[in-house]
Amino acid sequence: MLRLENITKRFGPVVANRGITLEVGRGEVLALLGENGAGKTTLVSILYGLYAPDEGRILLEGKEVRIPSPKAAQRLGIALVPQHPELIDAHTVAENLALGLDLPPVFARRALLARLGALLQDHPLGVDLEAKVERLSAGEKQRVELLRALLNRPRVLILDEPTSVLTPKEAEGLFQEIARLKREGLAVIFISHKLEEVLALADRIAVLRAGEKVGELSRAEADKERLVRLMVGRSPSPPPKAPPPREEVVLEVENLLVPRHGFPVQGVSFCLRAGEVLGVAGVAGSGQKELLEALAGLRPYRGKVRFLGQTLPKEPARVFSLGVAHIPEERSMGVVGGMSVAENLALRTYPAYARLGLLDYRAMEKEAEALMAAYAVKAPSPRTPVRFLSGGNVQKVILARELKGGPRLILAMHPTYGVDVGAAEEVHGRLLDLARQGAAILLVSEDLDEILALSHQVAALYHGRLVGPIPREVADRERLGRMMAEGRA
């Protein structure tokens, strides 16, 4: 059906894809597995006409094709469901779907609805065509994306990390849909870095590492350990063991309420002791970000929050200076791209570098060099703008800055999101080191394995309410999944 031969793509000195050959047949699901930065997204972008390959060719049903643009990809019957839904929030589902159709410049709404109704008849994906997209859940939005991709009856469907925004139950529904499409003869390329999904869904699995295909296995040959070995190039280390917590109470939260649109954080209470890690799971948008930002002083809230026995101020700079580190949800919030690595490492403490009113850049850069070495930040120099660093290195910059002062409380959201396995291990090691030294950690993550590996207590946010916490010993993936999806412990 679709065959890639010897695809190579370079970005300056960086080789994103090197000599990759892949094939996917009718009615087959091919999984592309690899860590972040392995070259999956580049490969998909080439297939979807966003980049031109430097070398190699693409064959569709035996004929060589060129794909200069996404439009061309669609005409050839290649459809993509992007990782994050790219819909227009203020418009209705029908209007968003209309973008996937070749419509005349002026068209009647009723005609559109009729045509969509006819097209969607054989797709058992109930979505209200008249609903505004902004009212939809992440899972529904993705269904709309999928529908849009299917409208033009593609031959090849590409799904880019489709489950990253879904609850386990929604993911289940998606898998069933993919199985159905497969039976209809569609060729599916499924991109993921989650092993379970890949094993559940794929007929064949191609593993990418550092831009190269390092292996291709049939489902029968594949197992978790083998795949991980291929992905990281070595055996996975056992999950780090968390140290037992001490008695001293670091953080007490009582009846925390965060007002905002949708679900506020409602009446959250918990207690964190020194050396303790509380892992909080939850479907994206259940109040995780609001909870953490409130504690960090970024949002107004009601309720009692005591840190080492004192009421916590509601001002980010003062909260930090008391010893509360904050690893924000989005890396882009934690750094300033156009400023240098040294400046970003000093983002919390720059006033301290003032000598006679002027910043002492030499001291700042010297300190930055030491931190860069300690945290293995890969950058040409402390003066390099952070914008030029990879995601993992940006995360290391944030960690280095937030953790260097030996914080007593660490508010961490997705600390390893988009970081490769090696770097993630390092991040976990650092967090646990600090816990061993007596820091309390509030860890919010979408990665249940991460939560289970690090935490002493686990909890889930469900529509702004905290479910739990329960001790780690009595928790497992299934129970945590239920807490997230149904709000019961």
Would you mind telling me the total number of residues written for the chain in this entry? 489
> Among 14, 88, 179, 354, which residue interacts with other proteins (rule: CB under 8 A)?
354
Name the residue nearer to other proteins (CB basis): 96 or 340: 340
For residue 180, state whether it binds other proteins (rule: CB under 8 A).
no
Phi and psi for 440 in degrees, rounded to 5?
-100, 145
CA distance 455 to 410: 13
User: Which of 193, 209, 273, 348: binder of other proteins (CB under 8 A)?
Assistant: 348
Nearer to other proteins, 330 or 476 (CB): 330
Does residue number 232 form part of the binding site for other proteins (CB under 8 A)? no
Window of 158-166, 223-231, 318-326, 418-426 that interacts with other proteins by CB under 8 A? 318-326
Which range, of 208-216, 319-327, 375-383, 430-438, touches other proteins by CB under 8 A?
Answer: 319-327
Among 62, 124, 357, 380, interactor with other proteins by CB under 8 A? 357
Among 221, 330, 433, 486, the residue binding other proteins under the rule CB under 8 A is: 330
CB contact at 8 A, 485 and 283: yes
Spatial distance between the Cα atoms of 94 and 391, rounded to a whole number of angstroms: 36
Residue 14 engages other proteins in binding (rule: CB under 8 A): no
Contacting other proteins (CB under 8 A), which of 298, 421, 458, 461?
298
Q: DSSP states of 337-399 as a string? A: TTSBHHHHHTTTTGGGGEETTEE-HHHHHHHHHHHHHHTT---S-TTSBGGGS-HHHHHHHHH
Using rule CB under 8 A, residue 179 touches other proteins: no
As a whole number of angstroms, the distance between CA 404 and CA 452 comes to 26
Spell out where 85-131 has E strands: none
Part in contact with other proteins (CB under 8 A); list of ranges 137-145, 277-285, 329-337, 462-470: 329-337
Task: State which of positions 59-78 bind other proteins (CB under 8 A).
Answer: 66, 68
Is 15 near other proteins (CB under 8 A)? no
**Binding flag, residue 401, other proteins (CB under 8 A):** no
12-19 contacts, C-beta under 8 A, 24 or more apart: 15/211, 16/42, 16/211, 17/42, 17/43, 17/46, 17/53, 17/211, 17/212, 18/211, 18/212, 19/55, 19/56, 19/212, 19/213
Greatest Cα-to-Cα distance within the chain, rounded to the nearest angstrom: 74
Number of residues that bind other proteins (CB under 8 A): 38
Q: Which residues bind other proteins (CB under 8 A)?
A: 12, 51-52, 66, 68, 296-298, 315-320, 326, 328, 330, 332-339, 343, 347-348, 350-351, 353-354, 357-359, 361, 387-388
